[in-house]
Amino acid sequence: MRPLRVGIVSAAWGAFAHLPAWRAIPGVDVTAICTSREETARAAADRLNLPRAFWNAAEMCADPDIDIVDLGTRPSVRLPMVLAALANGKHVYNASPHAPDWAGAKAIDAAWRAGTSIGVVDAFSQWLPAHAQMKAMLDADYIGSPLGGTCHFNLSLFNSPVKQFPYNWFAQSGQGVSAVRNNGSHALYMLRQLFGPVAELVADDSQILRAWRFPDGDAITPETNDFANVILRFESGLTMQMQISWSMALHDGWLADVFGSKGRLVASSPTFPTARDCTLRGGQLGGELQEIAISDRYKSAPGIALDWQSEPQPSYPMALSMHAMVEAIHGRGAGAPDFAEALEVERLQEAIRLSSETRRWVRLADVN
């Protein structure tokens, strides 16, 4: 069986984290890189030792010698790339946020369901060892029936901004980004994976940092929201509060804290959760909350040439997600989170938007 050939759009994050992840998977060859200009594409291909360079994503998406397209750029720019890849029968590994808005999400869903492509979203938190352990313990009834909890995903991206930061464009409206769309998407994939579907929610999505001020006195006036508070009521009956921000001074990072009829579990990380720094604590009635050792079975995987200690840190859980995608392409399993899950996370994002706009609870079943 010939290797699956991957083309990556993005010589930044795609080259830094995605490329080593793909290269860790047996039966995969990364054969191409795409940027927006010929000179940068050729330079990236030379630097990364890749045989092919593209500077037109549509051409990569149509190329018969590419099997999987890994798309990593702005949601607004990426939407036509996803649709082109699906139209050409490519398998797609798509960045998160999955789409620029609800209309874009539905367009991707229709195109995906019309074909046979495997589609997976780069929301890899469920593959982190601490989260995999947490899911196994929840499934084993460690906390009993989940009753309540808290989720925080607060970062400090723009409180002390740097002009060289490659994501200062997050300030621009119309790009499909905000704190709740970016940080919040990753949180929602994880919460749905742990606790199942959400029945309804109420939300407040706003802006708290009115200017991003650089040390030299220059400033950016952001046009995007950076602070959201949401109450999620899951179909199981669990109620959880969620707070999301990319403008929190002295940020508290990632937290998923849930209690039930028998006990409590807490996954946390000081920043964006990684395989090494995301920890798990737990306790049951009559005991104490204490650190839980992560099973070795979640720290490495047969055939994957990376483990939980590998650098760069995001590459190991990405490789697990990509490996599951490859197995799905070969008919030996399912990718996760797939494009069906992506639509449901985008439905949650639209419910948050509607709730914040109309100041009311929104049932997910009413978001169409």
Distance of alpha carbon 3 from alpha carbon 28, whole angstroms: 5
**Distance between CA 252 and CA 326 in Å, rounded?**
35
Quick check: helix, strand or coil at residue 216?
A: coil
| Phi–psi pair at 114, nearest 5 degrees | -80, -15
> For each of the chain's 368 residues, which pLDDT tens digit applies?
899 999 999 998 999 999 999 999 999 999 999 999 999 999 999 999 999 999 999 999 999 999 999 999 999 999 999 999 999 999 999 999 999 999 999 999 999 999 999 999 999 999 999 999 999 999 999 999 999 999 999 999 999 999 999 999 999 999 999 999 999 999 999 999 999 999 999 999 999 999 999 999 999 999 999 999 999 999 999 999 999 999 999 999 999 999 999 999 999 999 999 999 999 999 999 999 999 999 999 999 999 999 999 999 999 999 999 999 999 999 999 999 999 999 999 999 999 999 999 999 999 999 99
CB 49 within 8 A of CB 42: no
Q: Please report, to the nearest 10 degrees, the dihedral formed by the alpha carbons of residues 178, 99, 11, 8 taken in order.
A: 160
Radius of gyration of the chain (CA): 20
CA distance 138 to 151: 16
* Segment holding 183, helix H or strand E: helix 179-195
The string over 193-228, giving b where at least 16 C-beta atoms fall within 10 Å of a residue's C-beta and e elsewhere, is: bbbeebbbbbbebeeebeebeeeeeeebebebbbbb
Q: What is the pTM of this model?
A: 0.97
Decide: 321 and 26 in contact? Cβ < 8 Å.
no
Burial class (CB in 10 A: 0-12, 13-18, 19+), 61: buried
Order the strands of the 279-284 sheet from edge to edge: 290-291, 279-284, 263-269, 253-260, 146-154, 239-245, 227-234, 198-206, 362-363
